[in-house]
Each structure stands twice: as structure tokens, then as C-alpha cells.
Amino acid sequence: MARLFFALYPDAAARASLAAVLPTDGARGRVIPADNLHVTLAFLGDVDATAADALRALQDAVPVPPFELCFERLVFWERARARVLVPEAVPPEAECLQAGIRRLLTGQGLSFDRRPWNPHVTLERRAAPAPTRPVTPIRIRFDDYVLMASETRPEGAVYRPLARWRLPP
Ligand code: 2AM
């Protein structure tokens, strides 16, 4: 069994820019390490090895052109007790990608979290309430997406990309 999710995984430079938002803002909760910063596209939860292998082997999974997300606001989400970065606008390519992944998972007979997609990067969990504030926009181009495995360790979650799909130009 592996705990899996599909994600947009920014490169190291972009992750560093995202991670730099919080320290200046005084985080008191659990700050997510830069290596773990991502945008969840679809969360599957525990998946058996056969289904995980089938997912990894998918060819040309969802043909959507590369796109950019521009993160512009730091928001406190009360129910999740998380502080997250959200983009002001979500390009249609991003919506198509996550919808395509959901279709693909349904086609594979796999279950996943069906709540409406709300693209974000979680920066801090167990966060104290804080007012929403604009941040210097962080524009990130995504030309691929990944299937990520999440392992819970005493020191926190460790994510490992299992497969990567390039978005066609
Ligand atoms: P997040 O996207 O709000 O940060 C791995 O657990 C990732 O999947 C996390 O980034 C997590 O939250 C996201 N996720 C989405 N739905 C989830 C769920 N139902 N349970 C756990 N994690 C979920």
C-alpha cells in the first residue's frame, strides 16, 4: 500500500520562493519544508501496489499544454487550520489537467477525494488565524505533473515522485 496523490511540483528555485513567504510573517505552527511544497491535483489516499503500478505505467496521461500559476495571496483556512498560498486566477489548462486526472482515475476504478478543486500551496499547518494578505506575486510555470507517494515518518511527511508526465508544448 502507498499513500498517493497527483501534484504540480515546482522546481527547487520556485519552492524556495514559496517557502520564503512565511519566515518574514512569523509562523507559529508547523511550517512545511520547501521540498514538500506542491499543489495537489488529486488525492487518492492508500492505493495497493497493483493499482500504483498501473498508474505509473500510464502513457501520455493528460494532454494539456504547459501553464502558469501566479500565487498572490496568503490565506488562513479555518477548517484546515492551514495557511495557504492561492493564485488569483486559475488558467483553463490547469482546470483541464485536474479534470483529466479525475477522469483517468475514475476510468481506472480508483477512488479519490471528490471535493471541488481549490488550487493552493500549503505553507503552514496547525496555524494560528491570520488575516489574508497579498504577497509579492510568485509566478510558476508548470510543464509537467507528478504522481507522488507520501510516507509518514516521525520527523514528518516525506514525498517521493513515483512518475512524472510532461505536458505537451
Ligand atoms: P493540501 O493539499 O491541502 O496540502 C498529501 O497529503 C497532500 O494531499 C497534502 O498536500 C494534502 O493537503 C492533500 N490532500 C488533499 N485531500 C486530502 C485528504 N482528504 N487527506 C489528506 N490529504 C489530502
- Ligand 1 proximity of 113 Cβ (cutoff 6 Å): yes
Task: State in Å: Cα 45 to ligand 1 middle.
Answer: 9
Residues 78, 111: Cα–Cα separation, whole Å: 26
Substitution site in 35, 39, 40 for ligand 1 pocket (most atoms within 8 Å of beta carbon): 40
For range 69-86, the mean pLDDT: 97
Band of pLDDT at residue 63, cut at 50, 70 and 90? confident
Cell of 39: 499543489
Closest C-alpha to ligand 1, atom 14 = 43
State whether the beta carbon of 151 lies less than 6 angstroms from ligand 1. Answer: no
Active site annotation includes 22: no
pTM value? 0.95
The answer to whether residue 120 is catalytic is: yes
| Residue 62 Cα to ligand 1 middle (Å) | 21
For the cut 80, the answer to whether the pLDDT of residue 6 exceeds it is yes
Tell me how far apart the alpha carbons of residues 139 and 17 are, in angstroms, rounded to a whole number.
10
Q: What is the mean pLDDT of residues 125-134?
A: 94
Q: What is the grid cell recorded at 78?
A: 479555518
Q: So what's the pLDDT on residue 23?
A: 72
Which pLDDT score is estimated for 141? Answer: 98
Q: How far apart are CA 124 and CA 119, in angstroms?
A: 15
Q: What domains does the chain contain, in order, with CATH numbers? A: 2-166 (3.90.1140.10)
Q: Estimate the share of the chain in helix, then strand, then coil, as percent rounded to the nearest 5.
A: 20, 40, 35
